[in-house]
Amino acid sequence: MNKQYKSYKNLIAGKLCEAIDKEQIEVICPSDGEVFAYIPKSSTRDIDLAVKAARHAYDKGEWGKMSAMERGRILLKFSILIEKHKSELAMLESRDTGKILSQAEADITALARYFEFYAGAADKIYGNTIPIKGNFLTLTLREPHGVVGGIIPWNYPAQIFGRVVGAALAMGNSVVIKPAEDACLSVLRLGELAVSAGLPAGALNIVSGTGEEAGSALTKHSQVDFFSFTGSPITGSLVQQAAALNQRGVTLELGGKSAQIIFADADLEKALPVIINAIIQNSGQTCSAGSRVLIEQSIYAEFSKKLAEKFAKLKAGPHDANLDLGPLISKKQLNIVKNFISQAEKENIELLAKGEIIDNAPEKGNYIAPALYGNVPPNSDLAQKEIFGPILCAFPFRDEEHAIRLANNSEFGLVGAVWTSDGARQMRMAKAIRAGQVYINSYGAGGGIELPFGGFKKSGHGREKGIEGLYEMSTTKTIIINHEN
């Protein structure tokens, strides 16, 4: 281990600590391939300690007894503290994930907003009274699950931390987070800030390590009451199976292959940059990336040419070089994307345009040039699989019915977009698209903190963000009072 690099620590029971076995994982910068920090490589024993701390905080500690108003106040302090450390956190997130600095800054703004939003909502979640016949009064209470285990990925560590932890803590749960081994420095740093914000010991625990060891130990732990997972469908199934052994609930957010549908009557100039940004944002490593563009036949040639011209000018380089895209997270992800490109070449899928990697990009960085493919066969892997890279597939469509069929021809269903000036068509299309969020004449909503988010089909189940995110982090208790004399 090189002493000049910072060793980050787990947060367990309010204390920053190394893994019990003192093992560490090297943190590699995606821009230059160099090690620049270390994180704990935690084992089952560390996870067990964290779950016990969370259990104690919820069952017997200060956290479990705290009023919703007090919880909200602490979360607001945390939000303000995040804002104060915004540039430090953004730089850390950018270097750790490879995302361009402006994206990392937007992510930290969204992170602070999650805590602000859920701080305000903490004491505004009510139960109901239900009329039933006879001498009964029936009440429902919304209660926290207890201990929530959150497994978060590397593409948006800070934002996903915000949506999971903000909602879980606001509802009164205690939390154990296992962030991704590929990028989690912002999350570990947030553990330090949470202590400064006055979060009671054990309310939030953060334990880094591999998915196979620490992640799996968390999902199998019998003392965790509910899980939130964001990641791949394969791992999502493992998490769901492990949770099922203890009959625990899970929200799963498993990515997508989202379609952006553009009709001839749309404002094409307005749509163009939005459509491009929806796929190059975070170098395409976004669950809600708009990775398919469906273009009405009559404007296919003209619009795909315009897209191609813009694509050819896109530049990829280091995270801090102020370009359009940064590197991909890892060599593993780079190989996944390269394999899709080689397969597209073998299948002679039409390459309409390719951006560039700047000349002086470090050789050991994980760079990939953004690419636009045209007339993509609808059942090819390029059209069907989540690539998680800056690769956009274009398809022509004949009419509304054809556009809907193509859009829904996917095992995923996370997000969709429709570009048209016809109001009735906007609604028809929005209702027909099988996805959790549908944008009309836009894409993305600055993190969409207030908006329910989640998938249909293989994109997962359960909803995060907004007030629905709070409901997921709670359960209903019904109290039936017999007031007969």
φ/ψ of 143, rounded to 5, equals -115, 150
Handedness of CA 102, 103, 108, 112 (dihedral sign): positive
In the complex, least distance from residue 30 CB atom to ligand TXE, rounded to whole angstroms: 13
From the list 95-103, 192-200, 253-261, 390-398, the region that binds ligand TXE by CB under 6 A is 253-261
* Bridge partner list, 415: 437
DSSP H/E element including 478: strand 474-482
Taking the C-alpha atoms of residue 307 and residue 353, their distance in angstroms, rounded to an integer, is 8
Q: Does residue 411 belong to the site contacting ligand TXE (CB under 6 A)?
A: no
The stretches of 409-453 forming alpha helices (DSSP H) are 423-432
Q: 310: exposed, middle or buried (C-beta count within 10 Å: 0-12, 13-18, 19+)?
A: middle
* 144, 231, 416, 454: residue in contact with ligand TXE (rule CB under 6 A): 231
CB atoms within 10 A of CB 359: 6
- Residues numbered 68-87 forming contacts with ligand TXE, rule: CB under 6 A: none
- Residues numbered 87-126 forming contacts with ligand TXE, rule: CB under 6 A: none
89 is written with which tokens? Answer: 């956190």
For ligand TXE, the closer of residues 155 and 258 by Cβ is 155
Q: Does residue 253 belong to the site contacting ligand TXE (CB under 6 A)?
A: yes
For ligand TXE, the closer of residues 232 and 441 by Cβ is 232
Taking the C-alpha atoms of residue 382 and residue 384, their distance in angstroms, rounded to an integer, is 6
Longest Cα–Cα distance in the chain: 85
Task: Rounding to the nearest 10 degrees, give the CA dihedral for residues 466, 111, 286, 260.
Answer: 50
Q: Does residue 296 belong to the site contacting ligand TXE (CB under 6 A)?
A: no
- Residues numbered 184-213 forming contacts with ligand TXE, rule: CB under 6 A: 210-212
327 is written with which tokens? Answer: 């590197």
* 254, 328, 334, 407: residue in contact with ligand TXE (rule CB under 6 A): 254
For ligand TXE, the closer of residues 183 and 403 by Cβ is 183
* Bridge partner list, 180: none
Q: Does residue 388 belong to the site contacting ligand TXE (CB under 6 A)?
A: yes
Binding residues for ligand TXE, total number by CB under 6 A: 26
For ligand TXE, the closer of residues 166 and 255 by Cβ is 255
Q: Does residue 180 belong to the site contacting ligand TXE (CB under 6 A)?
A: yes
* 151, 204, 294, 383: residue in contact with ligand TXE (rule CB under 6 A): 151
Q: Spell out, one character per residue from 320 to 359, where the chain touches ligand TXE: x when CB under 6 A holds, - when not.
A: -------------x--x-----------------------
In the complex, least distance from residue 208 CB atom to ligand TXE, rounded to whole angstroms: 9
Taking only Cα atoms into account, the Rg of the chain, rounded to an integer number of angstroms, comes to 23
Paired sense of beta strands 6-7 and 35-40, if any: parallel
From the list 192-200, 229-237, 344-352, 395-403, the region that binds ligand TXE by CB under 6 A is 229-237
In the complex, least distance from residue 237 CB atom to ligand TXE, rounded to whole angstroms: 10
Contacts of 278 (CB under 8 A, 6+ apart): 258, 260, 289, 290, 417, 443, 444
Q: Does residue 232 belong to the site contacting ligand TXE (CB under 6 A)?
A: yes
162 is written with which tokens? Answer: 């915000």
Taking the C-alpha atoms of residue 7 and residue 428, their distance in angstroms, rounded to an integer, is 54
- Residues numbered 261-280 forming contacts with ligand TXE, rule: CB under 6 A: none
Catalytic residue (one of 253, 296, 386, 472)? 253
Q: Would you call 287 a catalytic residue per the annotation?
A: yes
From the list 48-56, 214-222, 243-251, 276-284, the region that binds ligand TXE by CB under 6 A is 214-222
216 is written with which tokens? Answer: 């799996």
From the list 6-14, 230-238, 349-357, 398-406, the region that binds ligand TXE by CB under 6 A is 230-238
* 144, 157, 215, 326: residue in contact with ligand TXE (rule CB under 6 A): 215
For ligand TXE, the closer of residues 187 and 376 by Cβ is 187
For ligand TXE, the closer of residues 150 and 200 by Cβ is 150
Q: Does residue 155 belong to the site contacting ligand TXE (CB under 6 A)?
A: yes
Helix (H, G, I), strand (E, B) or coil at 444: coil
Q: Does residue 219 belong to the site contacting ligand TXE (CB under 6 A)?
A: yes
Q: Does residue 42 belong to the site contacting ligand TXE (CB under 6 A)?
A: no
List C-alpha distances in Å: 181 to 23, 143, 190, 255.
13, 32, 16, 19
Taking the C-alpha atoms of residue 387 and residue 164, their distance in angstroms, rounded to an integer, is 25
Q: Does residue 157 belong to the site contacting ligand TXE (CB under 6 A)?
A: no
Query: Which residue's CB comes closest to ligand TXE?
Result: 211
CB atoms within 10 A of CB 444: 18
213, 44 Cβ separation under 8 angstroms: yes
Q: Does residue 448 belong to the site contacting ligand TXE (CB under 6 A)?
A: no
For ligand TXE, the closer of residues 43 and 474 by Cβ is 43
Catalytic residue (one of 287, 386, 464, 472)? 287
The stretches of 207-330 forming alpha helices (DSSP H) are 216-220, 233-245, 268-280, 297-312
Q: How many CA atoms lie within 13 A of 328 on its CB side?
A: 21
In the complex, least distance from residue 333 CB atom to ligand TXE, rounded to whole angstroms: 6
Task: Rounding to the nearest 10 degrees, give the CA dihedral for residues 211, 415, 439, 407.
Answer: 160
Residues noted as catalytic = 253, 287
Contact footprint for ligand TXE (CB under 6 A): 151-153, 155, 180-181, 210-212, 215-216, 219, 230-232, 235, 238-239, 253-255, 287, 333, 336, 386, 388
